[in-house]
Amino acid sequence: MLEQDLTTMSDAVVVDVLRELEELRRRLEALSNRMIVEVVERSIPAARGHRSPKRFLVEVLRISSADASARITAAQDLGVWHAPSGAELPVTLPQTAVAQRDGAIGADHVRAVRAAMRKIPAAVSKDDRRAAEAILVELSRTSTPEAVQSAGERLLAHLDPDGTVSDEPDRVRRRGVTVGRQDNALMSRLAGELDPIARAMLDTILAKWARPGMNNPDDPESPCGAGEGVDRDVLAAAAGRDQRSTAQRNHDALTAVFRTVLESGVLGKQRGLPAIVIVTMAIDQLEQAAGGVATTATGGVLPISDALRLAERAHPFLVVFGNDGRPLHLGRAHRLASSDQRLALIAADRGCTRPGCDAPASLCAVHHVRGWNKGGSTDIENLALACDSCHALVNEGPLGWATRTTASGRTGWIGPVATDPDQRVGINTRHHPDELLRDARRRIDYERESGVA
Ligand SMILES: [Zn+2]
């Protein structure tokens, strides 16, 4: 093919060749792992006078030291090694190794899986570790390495063995925000760490005011929020009685500003719901309130205990859902009847339903899975969240996407024939790491009980 005239090749063949090359490249990496295991187990580097396996690769293959290190690490994690008796040792990342041999995932996928797996605390059970790898590998087979990386970070919050995530004293100590000295350009550095409650409030505000076109100083027509949320006198009086450090005061004051802004109502509505913190949790999460995390409509995560404390103040909005996804409890005196459907969607979908999309619920529109013109109803079963750009992809043109409700009740997306000739129905698991984990755990339990594993 290096010599062949490619101009006669059809576009479809060019694309096919590119895909096959990628698969081949990935399988070659798996083969390279096998060969490196062989080289090391036969002690070839030492026998030939190389200081280490890495130096052997550098000197024999003329590759960089960094490349050699990466290949050795890959062989360590994915290769099948042997005990002196000749027995096969367990592979460190067995499911990743299988996917690489299939040609389904590349070196960057492997790196993303490994990075996430290494961050899992030592106390996490073997089964949970296996479940986490299964989820990351499954995602690797269908998405980009970047998607695997961000999914890995989300997954870690759910793999908390003894409640360190929901453990509070550490957060009380670490909280703080510092406004730095002005630099030559009169800019100030804002540094510090926000606790999950402050973060949940901040996310909600940013979702509204940091949108393109909002609060733009270069555009006199740009809408901006009223800046009168802070009462100077109240803050000054509070400072007089204050025994906290500057950083702690900054933190608490900022939290108060967020609350004042939220209470003042200046944010108006965000996609039909008041722009307030919306925390959703399932009824069974509430019952086992000790551990666990709830999600916010802006894509954040906060411990159940913090969510409940947040709700006590009555200003943010706590929504508890039954197993059917219907709101059981709305944490406010008056119900927002017309908003129930959107709240139910926020709890069920948590974000955009198109496979691979990261957009949180606050950036999503309500999409009719079966269109109006085809007799689709506005019942909750026919509604799903979709961000504006994904929503715009749904049309009946040759490049349009289609949606349908799957057997599991989730919204399935089907790409245009041009990019997906097999017309596979994909669902978005990015907003549901907890469900993936639960399913993977069940699978592992089942395998053990039935003796498959
Ligand atoms: Zn989207």
> In whole angstroms, what is the distance from residue 295 CA to residue 280 CA?
6
Those residues whose C-beta lies under 8 Å from the C-beta of residue 439, and which sit 6 or more positions away, are none
353 Cα: distance to centroid of ligand 1 (angstroms): 7
Torsion region of 321: left, alpha or beta (phi above 0 gives left; psi -120 to 50 gives alpha): beta
Where do we find the tokens 């008056």? Answer: 334
What distance in Å separates the CA atoms of residue 32 and residue 346, rounded to the nearest whole number?
Answer: 46
Q: Which residues of 151-181 are buried (b: 16+ CB within 10 A; e: fewer)?
A: bbebbbebbbeeeebbeeeebeeebbbeeee
Look-up of token digits 């984990």:
437
pLDDT given at position 334: 42
pTM for the structure as a whole: 0.62
pLDDT on residue 100 = 97
What is the predicted pLDDT for the residue at 234?
45
C-alpha distances in Å from residue 428, one per residue of 130, 132, 139: 21, 17, 10
Q: How far apart are alpha carbons 130 and 95 in whole angstroms?
A: 9
Please tell me the distance between residue 430's alpha carbon and the centre of ligand 1 in angstroms: 11
359 alpha carbon – ligand 1 mean position (Å): 5
The pLDDT, as a whole number, for residue 315 is 60
Task: Collect the ranges in the chain with pLDDT lower than 70.
Answer: 160-170, 179, 181-182, 184-188, 205-258, 288-291, 312-318, 320, 322-339, 371-380, 452-453
Q: How far is the CA of 390 from the centre of ligand 1 (A)?
A: 4
Q: Which of 210, 175, 211 is nearest to 196 (CA)?
A: 175
Q: How many other C-beta atoms can be found within 10 angstroms of the C-beta atom of residue 294?
A: 27
How many Å lie between the centroid of ligand 1 and the Cα of residue 414? Answer: 14
Distance 151 CA to ligand 1 centre (A): 16
Task: Dig out the tokens for 38 from the structure.
Answer: 């062989």
Q: What is the pLDDT of residues 424-447, one digit of tens each?
A: 999 998 888 888 888 888 988 888
How much distance in Å is there from the Cα of 144 to the middle of ligand 1?
15
Please give the distance, rounded to the nearest whole angstrom, from the Cα atom of residue 428 to the centre of ligand 1: 10
DSSP track, 34-78: HHHHHHHHTTHHHHTT-SSHHHHHHHHH---HHHHHHHHHHHHHH
Taking the centre of ligand 1 as the mean of its atom positions, its distance from the CA of residue 389, in whole angstroms, is 6
Return the amino acid letter for 212. P
CA of 361 to the centre of ligand 1 (A): 10
pLDDT tens column, 302-314: 778 777 777 765 5
Domain extent listing, the chain: 15-92, 195-213+227-350, 352-421
> Pseudo-torsion of CA 251, 253, 256, 258, nearest 10°?
-70
Select from 172, 164, 154, 189 the least CA-distant residue to 350. Answer: 154
Question: How far is the centre of ligand 1, averaged over its atoms, from the C-alpha of 76 (Å)?
Answer: 37
Q: Please give the full DSSP string across 150-192, using - where no structure is assigned.
A: HHHHHHHHH--TTSTTT--HHHHHH-EEEEPPP-TTS---EEE
Say if residues 93 and 117 touch (Cβ distance below 8 Å).
yes
